[in-house]
Amino acid sequence: MSRLARYFICSLLFFSFQLLTSPAIACIEGLSWGMDRASVEQHLGVTLMPTLDEANKDIFEIRDFQMSTVPVQRLRVRIEDQKGLRQLAYEMDYNNMTEVLAGLRNRFGPPVAASIDVDGISSQQQWTWHTGEDVITAIKSDKSPFLLSYRPSRLDPSFLG
C-alpha cells in the first residue's frame, strides 16, 4: 500500500473515531458518551451494580462515590448494549448543592433555563445547561436528594447558527 493511501486511511480512522466517541465534557473527566460498561467501570475504579428495576436493565449504580472531593450518595449510569454510556446522574446532599451549582455556572455560564414549580405540597427547582456536547440538569426537590444529570446533546449547536 502506498504511503499516501496509508496516510489517508489513518486520517479517515482518526476522524471517524472523533465522531463516534464524543467526550462527555461536563461529567467525569475522561469518560466519553458511548463507552461500554467495562470501560466505565475501569475508568471510575468501581464495579457498577445493576439496579433491581426489571424495566430498566441498562441502569447501573454505585453508592458512596466521590466526585472530586464532593461525596455522592448514589451515582447512576445508563449504559445501553448498542450505544454504550448514555446518561449519568448524581444524587447528593443539599449541603453540596450551592458549590456544585456555582461550579457549573463558573464553567458554563448561567443556565439556559431555570424554573420553580410549587404544587402546594412540595416545591421543585430546576436548572439546565447546554454545553454543546452535554445537557446538564440540576434538580432540587423537597422530596428527594439534590440530583445532577448529564446526557449527550441531541442538537448540533452549529445547526442553529
pLDDT tens digits for range 78-124: 999 899 999 999 999 999 999 999 999 999 999 998 888 877 677 88
pTM: 0.75
**What pLDDT is recorded for position 160?**
65
| Integer Cα distance of 88 and 98 in angstroms | 20
Letter for the amino acid at 9? I
Mean pLDDT, range 27-43, rounded to an integer: 88
pLDDT band at 56 (very low <50, low <70, confident <90, very high): confident
- Residue 30 sits at φ, ψ, to 5 deg, of 95, -15
